[in-house]
């Protein structure tokens, strides 16, 4: 499995990282104001590109753009709200408001998918389990194991297919390919079940399920976590306040401004919040090089 790109945000406390990424996802869904949607998508794409590199990020980007296009095309067909009619498609009227709303809602969903790719790189199962272990221990363990199971299973499947190709099964006929596929599935299931048994034995040996047992954690709260949390809370609060005070309405007619002093301030706070990890990385690189 490919290792995630090391980034300065990896050294911060999991609570800070988790709060940041959840807030970014909330902001992506909170408003469909055009420039906010565009900023969220661009900032998320650049950060995801840095974390995942182009080879991995291009698949996520292609899926996000495809969903964006589908929603933008389908929404005006099924949603006929709006006062400005552009044209008629049969008996259905296509309005400007529903068309723009579809474009922006598709962009918001695409941004959510992009930011989830950042979440996968920043939050592993160990950090997730650390945050929710004391509040929801069973649920946290189950979700962390599921999130780890999927990439591990894909990695094992690739190993099995690579071994079969090395044995010459790639050039076999269809019947042999079918048998090799069934055999590969059987090997994968056996391998996964064996790992499950080993995991259960390891958990039992470490005292899982007992009321009194000690725990160890490599995470600790430090001064830079306090500073980062204070900055992120300030940026998020200011951004949220400006979004609420500057609403953008699509129906029945478009209402709301894109360029104003309050909006420009909100855009600045939005960019600073979403690019906060990138700013930290740039600051560290400048320190090391100059």
Task: Supply the mean pLDDT for the chain.
Answer: 85
pTM as predicted: 0.77
Lowest-pLDDT choice from 57-61, 90-94, 109-113: 90-94
Mind listing the pLDDT tens digit for each residue in 137-180? 777 777 777 777 777 888 888 888 888 777 776 555 677 777 77
Question: Where are the chain's structural domains?
Answer: 11-123+220-289, 129-205
* 32 pLDDT above the threshold of 80: yes
- Highest mean pLDDT of the ranges 1-10, 26-35, 117-126, 254-263: 26-35
**Tokens 């690739």 correspond to what residue?**
158
* 53 pLDDT above the threshold of 70: yes
* pLDDT at res. 213: 58
What Å distances lie between residue 49 and 34, 61, 99, CA to CA? 22, 9, 29
Three-state SS string over the chain comes to CCCCCCCHHHHCCHHHHHHHHHHHHHHHHHCCCHHHHHHHHHHHHHHHHHHHHHHHHHHHHHHHHHHHHHHHHHHHHHCCCCCCEEEEECCEEEEHHHHHHHHHHHHHHHHHHHHHHHHHHHCCHHHHHHHHCCCCHHHHHHHHHHHHHHHHHHHHHHHHHHHHHHCCHHHCCHHHHHHHHHHHHHHHHHHHHHHHHHHHHHHHHCCCCCCCCCCCCCCCCCHHHHHHHHHHHHHHHHHHHHHHHCCCECCCCCECCCCCHHHHHHHHHHHHHHCHHHHHHHHHHHHHHC
* pLDDT at res. 2: 46
- Helix 137-166, helix 125-132: angle, nearest 10: 170
């Amino acid at each position: 499995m490919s290792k995630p790109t090391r980034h300065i945000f990896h050294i911060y406390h999991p609570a800070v990282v988790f709060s940041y990424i959840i807030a970014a996802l909330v902001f992506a869904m909170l408003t469909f104001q055009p420039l906010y949607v565009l900023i969220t998508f661009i900032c998320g794409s650049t950060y995801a590109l840095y974390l995942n590199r182009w080879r991995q990020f291009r698949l996520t980007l292609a899926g996000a753009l495809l969903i964006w296009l589908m929603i933008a095309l389908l929404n005006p067909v099924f949603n006929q709200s709006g006062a400005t009619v552009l044209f008629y498609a049969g008996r259905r009227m296509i309005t400007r408001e529903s068309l723009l709303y579809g474009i922006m809602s598709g962009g918001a969903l695409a941004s959510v998918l992009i930011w989830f790719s950042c979440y996968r790189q920043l939050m592993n199962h160990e950090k997730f389990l650390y945050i929710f272990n004391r509040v929801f221990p069973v649920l946290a363990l189950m979700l962390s194991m599921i999130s780890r199971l999927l990439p591990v299973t894909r990695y094992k499947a690739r190993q099995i297919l690579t071994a079969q190709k090395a044995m010459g099964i790639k050039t076999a006929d269809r019947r042999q390919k079918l048998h090799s596929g069934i055999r590969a599935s059987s090997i994968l299931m056996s391998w996964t079940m064996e790992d499950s048994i080993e995991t259960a034995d390891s958990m039992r040996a470490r005292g899982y399920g007992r009321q009194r047992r000690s725990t160890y954690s490599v995470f600790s709260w430090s001064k830079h976590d306090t500073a980062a949390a204070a900055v992120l809370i300030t940026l998020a609060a200011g951004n949220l306040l400006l979004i609420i005070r500057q609403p953008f309405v699509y129906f029945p007619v478009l209402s709301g401004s894109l360029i104003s002093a309050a909006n420009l301030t909100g855009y600045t706070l939005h960019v600073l919040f979403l690019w906060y990890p990138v700013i930290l990385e740039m600051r560290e690189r400048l320190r090391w090089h100059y």
